[in-house]
Chain A
Amino acid sequence: MSELVDVETVAALQELVRHSESILVVGNRTKPALSSVAAPTQLVTTRSLSGIIEYEPSEFTFTALAGTTLAEINAALAAKNQYLPFDPFLTATDATADGNESAGAGATAGAGATIAGTLAVGLSGPGRHRYGGVRDFVLGAQFVAGDGSLIQSGGKVVKNAAGFDIPKLLVGSCGRLGAITALTFKVFPRPVEFHTYQLQSADHEEAARLIAALAGGRWELDAIDYRSESRSIWVRIGAAKPVCDAIATDISRSLQTHTVEPMTDEQAVQSWAPLMQLRFGGSNRRCIVKIPMVLQQMQQLATWCDDRRDKVSLHASVAGSIGWLAVADDTLADVDSFLVDASMTGLVIRGDQESTGRWRLGTRRSAPIDQKIKDAMDPPGRFPNLGGE
């Protein structure tokens, strides 16, 4: 495991990039599988490049340094009744978070995820359903390219069509295309309240049908998630309680066959909180894999998981668009095989101890254009390759 270097200035990061043979920038290492690189790759953290440097509530925008934690950002936004609608994960500040176990010396996973890490990995929570994901809210990105130059891409206003949309390219790049130093995001006014309801499906096929009806309906739901083990669909609505209840009542009326039951506030917290920290499905299932999918694939994956109940749990989020798989250490290889067979792909967020460097599962892209884009962003090839090997 490479020793972690803490940079405190953008200039220092530029110097490190220029003088390293191989370098990977991380934040608080809440997604350790993506930074489990071996020497000679130099691991650098931008956690000390921290702080909100501009926040204009009237503009619906803020700019924060890369290492700013989501906890800090969420608190600042909440003070002005605003929020990041894509619902970022891993916000908890918990010194005992076991991301530390595999993150190695100097890790600070307990501080929660950073804004740059969230963008670089492309993690959007259940709220992605209503207004879009992290890709839809990033406006600008400052980063160090592979040649050490400091790039100012995108803009600081909510609408900008000038030049190539490089900030979006960085979403999901996992630090392989540039070392992010600051980001500008669009934010929205936060609904006065959120309330969660649930409905029970008989099986995955019915669940898919219900999810399609909910997502295609008139109700503008904030989140539609599905816990495959319990066949339970969670519906979150953002509005005052009487409005939410009226919408829930109408959903039941519209579905006819199913009743939407309200969760108490406590039940809602108990349901969502483990997911938001990507810790669900039991203590033996500590690996987390993100799987992009559509509803038909959700059914396929959920059925596969049913045969491995003691090893794998599926939480299907964003109306069946994202599968979050909690997996026992010894089962990642099986997940990989399933995804290959199903022509699906997966990203390991938290892996097992033996999976150093292995963070892509299932089918992999190998298009020549990918490497050409990598070469443009990183001409000397100082960041690790895109493939995850």
Chain B
Amino acid sequence: MPSVDLQTLRDLLPPGRLSDDAASQAAFESDGLTAFRCRPLAVVIPQNETEVVQTVRWCDQHAVPFVARGSGTSLSGGSMPVAGGIVISLNRLRQIIKVDPDNRIAVVQPGVINLHVSAAAARHGLYYAPDPSSQKICTIGGNIAFNSGGAHCLKYGMTSNHVIGIRAVTASGEIVSFGGESLESVGPDFTGLFCGSEGLFGVALEITLRLLPQPECFHTVLVGYRSLRAAGDAVSAVIDSGLLPGAMEIMEALAIEAAEAATQCGYPKGAAAVLIVELEGPREKIDAEKKQLESIIAATDAFETVVAADDQQRAGIWAGRKSAFSAVGKLSPDFLVQDGVVPRKRLGEALEAIEGFSKDSGLRVANVFHAGDGNLHPLILFDDSVDGELERAEALAGKILDLCVQMGGSITGEHGVGMEKREFLPKMYDEPTMELMHRLRAAFDPQTIANPGKMFPGAEAPALSSHGLHPLEKAGVISRE
């Protein structure tokens, strides 16, 4: 990397926006993939869109890599800094520009926190559906970059299904505008392409989101099973019935135990697996569907069924689920969260294989997953202070991803490829498809300066070193899903 005169960037921006002292570098050196870190050259904290654009154009002009970052909750290392590069921290672009209840849209800046959109929409009876577990802290800009998911994807889709317009600055400094305020558009769906591009195209400046009416009723059922297979069979039975639950989640014993200890969520004692099924909708529909669900669950091998009687009990059930990984993480000095997808009917087979991998490696694995859409989240526990454990954990994670590809699934359901899985992308896509993705990237970023080292394998990788849990994770502020 040629030496860069940061003073020219400092001169472009108002005082205080750029920091290159060691403390600032250290504050941004990692994200939610806590096993790794890398110090950036400098951090820019813009206060407005113009300053973002100026910074990107400076990076383009000087061929300096940059990483746009929200709250740094990426679990795939997607917002890891690049050595010698600039971190553009977007947290201060946090204005909800408008909420239009008639057309059910919100226009927001990229640094707006996911849950704040729903909070702003709530007085109109609306909400923003995508709900990654980090939604109390993660930003819409990051959600767009990684096409974040959550527990309700089967019914409502991922982030990209709720983004209808994006104004962005590309890595080459061009201001582009995709989509708009209508749900529909004419011409290629550039908005859809931009979602999930992992920061490789540029920086989203203003985003138009689709809002939905808040569900009137929830019917949340927690079911305990003596075996994982019985819980899996119950999922199949629900799917076959024609019901479309808002969420279907499974946690296995190790995760249940940890969640219980952390949140006293009241999960069935002695369960090998618990299943959470949640129906949502207008009361007339839910009244009919809950009877159907009751008879389906009654026909399974459940040993305990709890129906949330009120919002508080529902919140308790979800608190256990949403805290599961952080809670399990406390059982171990370090952990890796994986995020693979298999066809739903092969979930049992996949979990048995993961159990075998775990035994072979001598590392414990806890499983929590979005059962409705086959999205596995194995949590691999290890101790980085023990020689070779990180490598064994990574090798185990790699085997799980290979398994997902072999089963016709995906190496990521919602965390993105990021830095963590970049070597696996060519296992999913053949050479012509990879070449096309490189060409698309070049259309936005001919110099490959936007978030280099992510998504694609190759020599752009930043220098890495391992460390422990993210400080916010230790404090219980963020959790991994």
Taking beta carbons and an 8 Å cutoff, which residues of A are in contact with B? Answer: 56, 58-60, 81, 122, 124, 128, 131-133, 135-136, 145, 149-153, 155-166, 168-174, 176-177, 188-190, 192, 208, 212, 215-220, 239-240, 243, 246-247, 250, 290, 292-295, 297, 318-322, 345-347, 360, 365, 367-370, 372-373, 375-377, 379, 386
Cβ contact within 8 Å between A367 and B176: yes
Evaluate whether A173 and B149 lie within 8 angstroms (CB atoms) in the complex, with A163-B428, A168-B160, A217-B213 already known. Answer: no
A247 partner, pick from B282, B411, B415, B437, beta carbons under 8 A: B282
Measured CB to CB, the nearest residue on chain B to A215 is B104
B443 partner, pick from A58, A128, A156, A373, beta carbons under 8 A: A373
Cβ contact within 8 Å between B192 and A171: yes
A-B pairs with beta carbons under 8 Å apart, 18 shown: A58-B345, A60-B239, A136-B157, A153-B429, A153-B433, A157-B342, A159-B375, A160-B410, A164-B197, A164-B441, A169-B189, A188-B244, A239-B285, A292-B180, A294-B100, A347-B186, A369-B444, A376-B442
Q: How far is the CA of A168 from the CA of B101 in the complex (A)?
A: 27
Cβ contact within 8 Å between A165 and B195: yes
Evaluate whether A162 and B412 lie within 8 angstroms (CB atoms) in the complex, with A157-B343, A216-B104, A292-B182 already known. Answer: yes
- A368 contacts across to B, CB distance below 8 A: 174
Q: How far is the CA of A58 from the CA of B342 in the complex (A)?
A: 13
The reply on B413 being an interface residue by CB < 8 A is yes
Evaluate whether A56 and B193 lie within 8 angstroms (CB atoms) in the complex, with A159-B158, A161-B413 already known. Answer: no
Evaluate whether A163 and B417 lie within 8 angstroms (CB atoms) in the complex, with A59-B345, A132-B161, A239-B288 already known. Answer: yes
- B158 contacts across to A, CB distance below 8 A: 159, 161
The reply on B147 being an interface residue by CB < 8 A is yes
Measured CB to CB, the nearest residue on chain B to A188 is B244
A9 to chain B, nearest CB (A): 17
Cβ contact within 8 Å between A159 and B430: no
- A217 contacts across to B, CB distance below 8 A: 125, 213
Q: How far is the CA of A212 from the CA of B100 in the complex (A)?
A: 10
Measured CB to CB, the nearest residue on chain B to A363 is B186
The reply on B310 being an interface residue by CB < 8 A is no
Q: Which residues of B415-474 are within 8 A (CB) of A? A: 415-417, 421, 425, 428-430, 432-433, 435-437, 439-444, 455
Cβ contact within 8 Å between B188 and A169: yes
Q: How far is the CA of A367 from the CA of B240 in the complex (A)?
A: 47
Cβ contact within 8 Å between B341 and A220: no
Evaluate whether A165 and B196 lie within 8 angstroms (CB atoms) in the complex, with A160-B413, A216-B126 already known. Answer: yes
Evaluate whether A369 and B189 lie within 8 angstroms (CB atoms) in the complex, with A159-B153, A162-B428 already known. Answer: no
B216 partner, pick from A59, A131, A160, A218, beta carbons under 8 A: A218
B436 partner, pick from A166, A322, A372, beta carbons under 8 A: A166
Q: How far is the CA of A360 from the CA of B185 in the complex (A)?
A: 12
A260 to chain B, nearest CB (A): 14
- B161 contacts across to A, CB distance below 8 A: 132, 135-136
- B13 contacts across to A, CB distance below 8 A: none
Evaluate whether A164 and B193 lie within 8 angstroms (CB atoms) in the complex, with A58-B236, A376-B439 already known. Answer: yes
The reply on B409 being an interface residue by CB < 8 A is yes
Q: How far is the CA of A215 from the CA of B213 in the complex (A)?
A: 8
Measured CB to CB, the nearest residue on chain A to B435 is A149
Interface string of B348-392 (1 = CB under 8 A from A): 000000000000000000000010011100000000000000000
The reply on B333 being an interface residue by CB < 8 A is no
Cβ contact within 8 Å between A247 and B187: no
The reply on B119 being an interface residue by CB < 8 A is no
Cβ contact within 8 Å between B189 and A172: yes
Evaluate whether A218 and B185 lie within 8 angstroms (CB atoms) in the complex, with A149-B432, A157-B342, A169-B190 already known. Answer: no
- B104 contacts across to A, CB distance below 8 A: 215-216, 319
- B174 contacts across to A, CB distance below 8 A: 367-369
